Amino acid sequence: MKVLVTGARGMLGTDVCEVLSQKHDVTGVDIEEAEISSLPETRALVKRVSPDAVIHCAAYTDVDGSETEAVHAFLVNAEGTRNVAVACEGIGAVLLYVSTDYVFDGRSERPYTETDAPAPLSVYGSSKLEGERHVQSLTSNHFIVRTSWLFGLHGRNFVDTIVDLGQDRDSIEVVDDQVGCPTFSRDLSVALASIIESESYGTYHVCNSGSVSWCGFAEEILRLWGNTRTRVVPVKTERLNRPAARPAFSVLDTSLFETTFGSSLRSWREALAEYVKSKKRGN
């Protein structure tokens, strides 16, 4: 299969390219090769590569920055995705769009399923949801994969931030009233490969199993790193006064993916342990 990956030099895109290249003919592109906010450029790119499928990882992912850069967030995440969808439909290519748990408002008392109504709280979540709607309305064959709390070896993330802060602080304040599913980008990439090789089109929630608060996540990061000096101090979201509102509970129900594809992602704790080992080796 010939696969085009957008955002190929990002944290997720890098892993997706590496995983898919083991079995498929992969072309990875990033902003240097094509500006997805331009429909002519996007069409020309997709026509030139002529892929069987496109995995659309490119996105503006600065959640707080999106609040002041709303035009840019929608240009990339919504309009850019629309352009990719139009280009894919034009050549009959399958489209897999990577979306986010932030399309939900976090008021649920149970894990979110694919049929729950989205209600984003932030510009970022709204822009990604609009991207989903473009994919649904403009392409015949597509996958939408919502995931959450990504960490990986090819980009800055929460794990790296906590490790760095722990180097010279005795305590770190981390919110304990936001709960979600940390997800290792390598594990997600393997799942995306299974999805794109199928014809089971639709929307799926995919993340590592288990859930935790950001505070609990930080505690496990420091424990695995061997930092016994730094204390994680639980605080409420309001204390940090972040520009973007975030869902208090964004745990995703992954049972549809598991029953459809006959597999599940390992626990976030196992994935984090592997990530920390790799970081310690300098990988």
Phi-psi label, residue 184: left if phi above 0, alpha if psi -120 to 50, beta otherwise: beta
C-alpha 27/C-alpha 129 separation (Å) is 26
Token pair in block for residue 244: 């973007």
| CB contact at 8 A, 234 and 215 | yes
d(CA 134, CA 195): 20
Which CA distances in Å does 108 have to 2, 115, 119, 228, 248?
39, 13, 11, 35, 9
* Axis-axis angle for helices 11-20, 185-196 (nearest 10): 50
Q: 96: which 2 tokens?
A: 């897999």
Strands, E, within the chain: which ranges? Answer: 2-6, 25-29, 53-56, 94-100, 142-147, 150-151, 171-175, 179-180, 183-184, 202-205, 212-213, 231-235
Task: Tell me how far apart the alpha carbons of residues 257 and 202 are, in angstroms, rounded to a whole number.
Answer: 10
Annotated catalytic, 102? no
Among candidate residues 124, 201, 204, 275, the one labeled active-site is 124
State the catalytic residues: 124
